[in-house]
Structure formats: C-alpha cells, structure tokens
Structure 1
Amino acid sequence: MTDNLFDRLADLFRSPGPVNWRLAREIAESAAGNAEPVDPWLDEEYRDLAATAVRYIDSASPLDPVTAADAPRILDRRAWATAAADGLAYLAEPMAAKFTAAEPVTEVVQMLAPALIGLQMGGMVGALSHRIMGGFDVGLPPGRPEGPAYLVPNIEQLATDHDLDRRQVRLWAAMHETTHVAAMAEPWVRQHAVDSMAAFVASLEIDDAAMTTRLDMLQDPEALQRLVEGGGAMPPLLSARGGAEQLDDVRTLMSIADGYAEFLVDRCVGNLIPQAGALREAVDRRRAEPAPGEQMLAQMIGLDLDRAHYRLGATFCHEVARRWGDEAVHRLWESPATLPRSGDLADPVAWAA
C-alpha cells in the first residue's frame, strides 16, 4: 500500500452510503498491484477455450449456458479487483445495517462504520485477487448474474507452480467457470444462495470489543496497513449467534457446483486433460490452507468458507453417477428440493431416498 493512499484516507472516509465502496475499490486495487495487461494471443486462447466449454456443457448438462456464453472477461489481478470490489454488496450492506441499528449508536461509529466495512471488503477482494482463478474459486455466491471471468495470472501461476500443462489447466478452469456461471444463473440457485447468506448475516451481532480495537487501528497507519493486508490475528468485527444451518447451505451449494463441474470435466474433456488428477490434487492442496482474503472474511464476520468441504461435492457427484447413472446427477439442478443438504454429501443414499 502506498503512503499516498494513507494521505487520502480522510477524504475517502467522507464517501456517502452505508458502505464506503470508494474506499473499498481503492484498497482492493492497491492490494491487487499494478495492471499487467494480458497478451492478446493469450486473451484469444482463453476466449476460444471458454467457447469450447460452453459447447460441452450445453450438450452434456441441463444447465442453460446462455449467461456463460457472454463474452468472457480475461483479467489481470487489478482489473478483477476493480470489478469485484462492490460485487459482495448483498453481504456488506446488511452488515452495515447492523451498525446503524445497534443501540446505542455513537456518532463515531456512525461516521466510521462505512469506512471500516469498505476497508475490509476492499482488503479481502485485493487479497483474493492473488489467489482465485475465476468466479468458481471465490467460495461465495455472486449477488447478481455474472458472465465468466478468468484471472489469467493465477491460472498461469498454478500451472507453473505444479509443472502442469498450461493448456490443460486453462481448459479445466474454463469448464469450472462455465459450469459455475451457468449454475448461478439459474434464478432459484442464486436466490437460494443469497437468501442463505442473508440469513447468516442476520444472525450476526456487533462485537463491541472488536469494534473498539478497529476504531483504534484507524488512528495507527502501521496497524491499518496490517489490517488491509490481512496480517495478524484479529477478533471478528461481528460474531454469529446462530446461522450455522444457513452457512452450511451455502457451503454445500458451492461444493456441489464445484463437484458437478469436476463431474463434467471427467465426462466431457477427460481425454483432453490427462493431468486432471494431478491438477485436482494441486487445487485441493492450495485450498487446504485459507487464503489471506478468506482469513480476512473470518476476521470480519467469523465466516469460515471451509474449502476442504469442496472435495465432498466431487465425491458425491461421482458416487451418485456410479449408483444411479448420470441423469441422477443432473437432477441436482431441478429445484431446491433436489439440492443436497450438508449431511447428504457423505451419504448419497440418504439424498436419493
């Protein structure tokens, strides 16, 4: 983060609204780093692979890939952070309402709560920009229909770090992103996810001690920088008093979307990705340790995305296919009634009963 940004904090804090999205974008862009435009030839390859993934999923799945067929956004880290900074408004704005509804509401809290939330939302997005590969990898549902997006530096870095064939990794990412976008474009799926997150946020209560700590940090530039960068242990700003069932619903939905994409990879392009096993192992190892952005989300509201849960989705889909055939797997997307609950992931027979 630059010294210039700290010089401008007072001005940024004056941004109106329940969440200071101007500050969030500034923080997100600063944490993401300088722009690194994607080479035109690589941009074209990602677009070709995205179109290929749409064709495969259209032919092999009941999901409608019309949204996924939108022109993909081929992004570097900074461009993704800029676009994503306000994409979690459905999560941040109800959080902000908690502060304005609290009793008693001090003038200081009213003035600084939008900045506190904007600060951490921006820091979280900026940190995630160094880790995630696309919308499928964020771990949270989108609040609105979104077309496919590819964070090219992170996809390429995964291939480099694990000595994997780059084109195979790109196709794998395209299949996952296309499946994710198509699933989340189903109105009932997205609404189910957003409603579950809203119920979880509704269960949150302000942690007065953590709030005091955060307010003190706003007066300490070094502590503020550590907060933005996700460093150090911090108590959650809000703590949950219930909401576990709704959080399980979100985790399960995201696990199923990820597992269903893995199922389609096997069915549609398994012969084109001979390194799929090694690739999946690399992704699982990476997800086993929370990214800084995920740690910041836990620090903000005590929300643990539990990425290890994702592996259960793939196991579930493959076991359902083994027992009852591929059509049984496709039934997942018929309605909320056919979506597994958390306990079903380890027990497909209970889901099918």
Structure 2
Amino acid sequence: MADETPDRPEDEFQELLRNLLGGGGAGLDPEQLESLSRMGVDPAMLQQMMAQMQHAFATGSDDGIDWSAAKKQALHLANKDGLGITAGDRQDFDQAFSLATLWLSEATTISDLAAPAQAMTRGQWVEATLPVWQELAEPVADSIAGALTAAIDEQTPEEMRQLVAGAGTFMRRVGGSLFAAQLGGVIGRLSQEVVSGGDVGIPVMPDGIAAILPQNFADFARDLDVTDDQLALYLGTRELAHARLFRHARWLRLHVLTQVTEFARGIHVDTTALEDLASRFDPSSPEELRSALESGALLPQRTPAQEAALVRLENLLATIEGWVDVVTADATSRLPAAAKIAEAVRRRRAVGGPAEQAMASLVGLELRPRRLREAAAMWRAVTDAVGIEARDRLWDYPDLMPGASDIDDPQALVARLVAHERGEDPERDALDEALDALLAEAAEEAAGEAEQGGGAPDARTTDDDGPEDPRPV
C-alpha cells in the first residue's frame, strides 16, 4: 500500500484541518498532537476553535457565506415567543383589507392586487423577505469576508504563509458566517418591529403580496389612543396602496433594489481597523469581531459618490411613500383618527426602530425617506391640479416619474401636467433649446454632404415606373 502520509508541511496542516473539521473520532491521535506541537500550535486551543466553527465550515457555501445561519438566527428570534395568529385576528384583518380595497378604488386608478392580502406571522415575514435582505447585504458580506482573509494573511510572517495556506478558506468562512449570523439577528429583531410588508419602505415582500403582522400591531397602537378597527383600516389601506404601486409599476421594484445594491457595492471595509482587529483576532473567541460588525466600526465614512447615491435613493423612497401617503389619506378620509395615525406613521418612518438602526450599522445604509413631507405635498398639488387619473399615469413609465427637482419645485411639474391635459405644447426649457441646436447642426451637415455628393439623387432609383432592374442588360 502506498504511503498516504503527507510529504509537505502545508499538506500536513491541511490534513489536520480536515480531521478536526470533519468531526471524525473523539480527537487527534498522539502522532497528530505531536505534529501540532512541532508547528507551535496549541492543540487544545485549535480543537476548541474548530469545534465552534465546524458547522459554518461544513455547511458554508463556496463563496464562504453561510446564509443558512442568517435564516436560522432570524427565525429563532421571530418565533421565540411562540405566539401565532388567532382565527379572530385573521377575520378582523380580512374585513379591514376588504373595506380598504373598496376605499382605494375611489382614491386611485391603479388596479387591485391579484392575490388577497393576508395576516402574517413574524416567521412568515422572515421567510418572505430574507432573499431581498440577503441580496442587499451580500456585497458587504463579501467585502468583510475577503478583507478579513487578506488582513490575516498580511499579518502572517512570510515563512509561515505557505504553511497556513490551507486555512485561508476557513478564515474567510469565519468572517462570512459571523456576518450572516449578525444579519440574521437584525432581521429577526426587525420582524418584531414591522407592522406590514411595506413598513421599511423598500419592496422586500414578493411582488403583489400585501401583509399585516398582527403580533406587532398592539405595540404600534399602545400609545396612539385610537381604536383597533381604525388602526387596522388605516394600516391595511396603506399596505395595499404600497403593494398596488409596485405591482402596477413593475419596473419600480428593480429600480429601487438596483439603487440600494449599487450603494452597497461601493462599501469597502476600513482596512486599518480590520488589520488592527486581525492582529489580535482569536477565532475561538470571536466576540470582538462580532461587536465590530454590530457597531459598524469596520465600515469607513461614506465617499462623496456614496453620499450622492444615498441622496438619490432617499428622494426615490420619498417619492414613492409620498404617493402612498396621499392616496391613503384620501382613501381613509372617513376615519376620525386618520390624521393622528398618519402623523404617527410619518414620525416612525423618520426615526426608525432599534432593528432598523442596527441594519444601518451592519450594511451602512439608512432607509429613510427624509423628504417625505415635501414629496407628499408635491403629490397633493398634482392631485388637486390634474386629478387622480393623470396623477397615476406618472407611474406608467420610468421617465414620467417625478424626480428630485419636482419635489423642489412642484408648481413647475403642475404647470407641465396642466398644459399637457389642455393639449398645449409644454414650456420650452434649456434642454429643448440645446436639442434643437443639435438637430439643426446635424441637418446642415447632411445638406452639405448631399451637395458634395452631386446634388440630385440618382434618377435611376426614382423612376416613376419603379426602381431600375439591377441585372446587366
């Protein structure tokens, strides 16, 4: 039989890693323990480290991020109280959604959802939204996992790098798995705060799905001093309006998520902070790394490009939620407490809860529609000037949707829309003048080329009897 003993030190180290991570046997045999000692490694410390991270290594994906850990942690927190949804809760919210649907038909021309809205548990919300959270966080997770590997590699002496090369994948999975676990914790806590599918502003729910979380309903209502039926009607109407908008403007979902992920891809880990952390990092006790992830200490200050991207995203979210605010206000005008509830919703979105703030620290992104009041005022002005149908047509195509300049100056937008409704030519601006100049210049160049080419077109191709037969006579 061929000798299977590794010939090279790095092969020997990798073999030891496989034995430890594979979980085979009760431990290492005396010969392997002696090998570890020769390498200057404490066998007890190494076994403790491997036992703690064995699951992450065994189940981690090829890119080093074990997203199943995020799901497990999120569901653990979402379901830890053991509360479900009673039949009475479901019936109450079904009735609220039915009435809200009728009211919305008077406030918007955007059609109803194909699927009925539903009362959803916290765990169901986690299951439904986790793919979107993963997509948003993945660029940051990759950056942290890769930077951790690089930082530890730089801290390793040159003569030891070949020896520990087999641990590179493992160390990447350490960082990725810790980040995934932190993300799962944030999502789990967020499931204890949100009251509806669209509560965080971005489209985290599957397309065309509207939902209320009754388990969080009581916490939201506690300090409002309004009846449960009024609150259920208002929140149900708002949730349906949000879901209807994203189902109608199918391009809008991709537009929002693309802007979020582009911002996230611009995030790079603060290598100085990470190198300092890596120099004293103990994989058997990763609390310091976990704390750094939670606090956002590894994410540097935003670049000017990121700040600009964040402003664009905030304007987009404000434009969306401003429309939802106006439509919801019109649809719920019969509710005595509608104004009080609306103000509570706006304040809640402006401040955010603890879990949303934790998400900002972890991913570096605050999902705040900071200009919500201004955007709502713009949509109110548009509604009063041209009516519901003309207002809702602005969501038919991306280039029709109001932008930041329209939030700044809603009267200019109203003037354009009123002129369009009257069939008048829109007022010309600098862009129109520049476009006309370009077209005129192109026409002059074409005329000059025609003159240089001999003037009149070839008579053979314009004969009244039709084009000339191209075959030779």
The TM-score with structure 2 as length reference comes to 0.63
Partner of 1:21: 67
- Say which of 60, 74, 84 aligns to 2:129: 84
CA contact (8 A) 1:75 1:149 kept: yes
Q: 1:13: Cα distance to partner?
A: 5.4
CA contact (8 A) 2:241 2:328 kept: no
* Partner Cα distance (2:275, 2:123) in 1: 32
Residue deviations 1:86-145, cap 9 Å, x none? 332321233344457769485255222321331232122122122211122113333852
Matched, 1:340 2:402: yes
CA contact (8 A) 1:77 1:129 kept: yes
- Say which of 135, 138, 148 aligns to 1:93: 138
Q: Which letter maps to 1:331?
A: R
CA contact (8 A) 2:52 2:284 kept: no
- Structure 1 window deviating more from structure 2 (245-254 vs 200-209): it is 245-254
Matched, 1:166 2:228: yes
Partner of 2:120: 75
- Say which of 76, 83, 97 aligns to 1:50: 97
Q: Percent identity?
A: 24
CA contact (8 A) 2:193 2:353 kept: yes
CA contact (8 A) 2:117 2:240 kept: no
* Partner Cα distance (1:331, 1:249) in 2: 22
Q: Which letter maps to 1:249?
A: R
Partner of 1:120: 182
- Say which of 362, 367, 373 aligns to 1:305: 367
Residue deviations 1:285-317, cap 9 Å, x none? 333433222222221232122344333332222
* Partner Cα distance (1:322, 1:214) in 2: 58
Q: 1:8: Cα distance to partner?
A: 7.1
* Partner Cα distance (2:95, 2:261) in 1: 37
- Structure 1 window deviating more from structure 2 (297-306 vs 161-170): it is 297-306
* Partner Cα distance (1:119, 1:269) in 2: 41
Q: Which letter maps to 2:59?
A: S
* Partner Cα distance (1:209, 1:136) in 2: 38
1:116 match: secondary structure = helix
In the TM superposition, what are the counterparts of 1:267-346 in structure 2 within 5 Å?
A: 267-271=330-334, 273-346=335-408
- Say which of 326, 330, 338 aligns to 1:263: 326
- Say which of 65, 76, 81 aligns to 1:30: 76
Partner of 1:3: none
Change (3 A) 1:212 1:138: farther
* Partner Cα distance (2:98, 2:277) in 1: 46
2:212 match: secondary structure = strand
* Partner Cα distance (1:23, 1:190) in 2: 27
CA contact (8 A) 1:136 1:180 kept: yes
Q: 1:82: Cα distance to partner?
A: 4.0
Partner of 1:349: 411
1:206 match: secondary structure = coil
2:268 match: secondary structure = strand
Residue deviations 1:20-39, cap 9 Å, x none? 22111222123333231111
1:42 match: secondary structure = helix
Q: Which letter maps to 2:138?
A: E
In the TM superposition, what are the counterparts of 1:96-107 in structure 2 within 5 Å?
A: 96-98=141-143, 104=150, 107=168
Q: 1:350: Cα distance to partner?
A: 4.1
Change (3 A) 1:217 1:152: farther
Change (3 A) 1:139 1:269: closer
* Partner Cα distance (1:126, 1:312) in 2: 32
1:134 match: secondary structure = coil
- Structure 1 window deviating more from structure 2 (135-144 vs 36-45): it is 135-144
In the TM superposition, what are the counterparts of 1:202-221 in structure 2 within 5 Å?
A: 202-211=265-274, 216=281, 220=285
1:35 match: secondary structure = coil
- Structure 1 window deviating more from structure 2 (38-47 vs 156-165): it is 156-165
* Partner Cα distance (1:86, 1:8) in 2: 27
Gaps of 5+ in 1: 1-6
Partner of 1:156: 218
With CA pairs under 8 Å and 6+ residues apart, which has the higher RCO, 1 or 2? 1
CA contact (8 A) 1:236 1:302 kept: no
Q: Which letter maps to 2:352?
A: P
CA contact (8 A) 1:155 1:173 kept: no
CA contact (8 A) 1:124 1:293 kept: yes
Change (3 A) 1:58 1:281: closer
RMSD over aligned CA atoms reads 3.2
The TM-score with structure 1 as length reference comes to 0.82
Q: 1:181: Cα distance to partner?
A: 1.3
Larger of the two Rg values belongs to structure: 2
Matched, 1:191 2:254: yes
How many residues end up aligned between the 2 structures?
341
Change (3 A) 1:152 1:341: same
